[in-house]
Amino acid sequence: MSTKTAFITGTTSGFGLAIANRLASLGCNLIITGRRRERLETEAADIRSHYGVEVLPLCFDVRDREVCRQTVESLPERWKQIDLLINNAGLAAGATPVQDGDIDDWERMIDTNVKGLLYISRFVIPLMVKRKSGHVINISSIAGVEVYPSGNVYCATKHAVNAITKGMRIDLLKENIKVSSISPGAAETEFSLVRYHGDQEKADAVYKGIVPLNAEDIADAVEFIVTRPPHVNINDILLTPVRQANTYVYHREG
Ligand SMILES: NC(=O)c1ccc[n+]([C@@H]2O[C@H](COP(=O)([O-])OP(=O)(O)OC[C@H]3O[C@@H](n4cnc5c(N)ncnc54)[C@H](OP(=O)(O)O)[C@@H]3O)[C@@H](O)[C@H]2O)c1
């Protein structure tokens, strides 16, 4: 792959971190983002020394519309030549029947997974349109295809991501901008720990008796998508662990 610049949200752990390393291994310069500054700085230094690419770490919250705007607008000119936008930052918060749902958790998911993705897209995509070139990859979920018990609002946010992805694909067709998504099933990252508000036992139970996906599996999907020839667009890659049939049917060992 010729030298490209990728803007990846949520790279302080999980998929984002693996995707950042993978794209760096392919020679991309990176803008990496997240709220945990220390992790971002360490990651930037590690990636620079391992892969010899340029890395710009930007610490901000995707829920803050004005900060998203200022962050993108104040990028140095050469960093505005963004070839790849990976909208990855996101989370599940809680898993509760809708009638008992924590409204603060709902707001966090909607504000991050839907509004945050839209803010970043709104400010980055015009830079691609100007150059008539680019590729947006939205990290969705199997939860965007099917719902599951107590998954209500998280599933709604990922259904929204899928609608936004399809809408983007239509709107950006004439701009020569590819739009793809990745829809993973259960993957072991910090995702479940965040979902269960730090309860390690509940987080571990999600992966009990299965071999979950890992962040490298998602980086593999990204690598496949970005290395297709110019005339090919991968619309979506849906991948699950072997022991997961859909959002709620698992075959657990033991
Ligand atoms: N793991 C799974 O089973 C799974 C399956 C399907 C889809 N997904 C999706 O994959 C994406 C990545 O999740 P993951 O599994 O890699 O989880 P993770 O390990 O918890 O990583 C989430 C990343 O998002 C960032 N983030 C969260 N809220 C943010 C905010 N308000 N502003 C900026 N950054 C924010 C976090 O950084 P900071 O905390 O430093 O801000 C972190 O880098 C999410 O969209 C998730 O919904 C995950």
Closest atom, ligand 1, to C-alpha of 212:
3
- Cβ–ligand 1 distance for 244 under 6 Å, the answer no
Tell me the CA–centroid distance for residue 17 and ligand 1, in Å.
Answer: 10
Cα maximum dimension of the chain: 56
Are 210 and 243 in contact by the 8 Å Cβ rule? The answer is: yes
Tell me the CA–centroid distance for residue 189 and ligand 1, in Å.
Answer: 9
- Cβ–ligand 1 distance for 35 under 6 Å, the answer yes
Query: Residues 130-154, buried b or exposed e (16+ Cβ, 10 A)?
Result: eeebbbbbbbbbbbbbebeebbbbb
pLDDT (tens digit per residue) in 206-232: 999 999 999 999 999 999 999 999 999
Asked if 51 is an active-site residue, the reply is: no
Closest atom, ligand 1, to C-alpha of 90:
45
Determine the pLDDT at residue 254: 83
Q: Any alpha helices (H) in the chain, and if so which ranges?
A: 14-25, 37-51, 65-73, 103-109, 117-131, 152-171, 191-195, 200-206, 215-226
pLDDT (tens digit per residue) in 26-79: 999 999 999 999 999 999 999 999 999 999 999 999 999 999 999 999 999 999
Return the DSSP state at 35.
S
Domains of the chain: 5-239 (3.40.50.720)
Average pLDDT of span 144-171: 98
Is the pLDDT confidence value at 1 over 70? no
- Cβ–ligand 1 distance for 119 under 6 Å, the answer no
Tell me the CA–centroid distance for residue 174 and ligand 1, in Å.
Answer: 31
How many CB atoms sit inside 10 A of residue 254's CB? 4
Please tell me whether residue 6 adopts helix, strand or coil conformation.
strand
What percentage of the chain exceeds 90 in pLDDT?
98
pLDDT (tens digit per residue) in 196-211: 999 999 999 999 999 9
Tell me the CA–centroid distance for residue 89 and ligand 1, in Å.
Answer: 5
- Cβ–ligand 1 distance for 12 under 6 Å, the answer yes
- Cβ–ligand 1 distance for 15 under 6 Å, the answer yes
Tell me the CA–centroid distance for residue 51 and ligand 1, in Å.
Answer: 24
Determine the pLDDT at residue 53: 98
Q: Any alpha helices (H) in 52-190, and if so which ranges?
A: 65-73, 103-109, 117-131, 152-171
Closest atom, ligand 1, to C-alpha of 12:
43
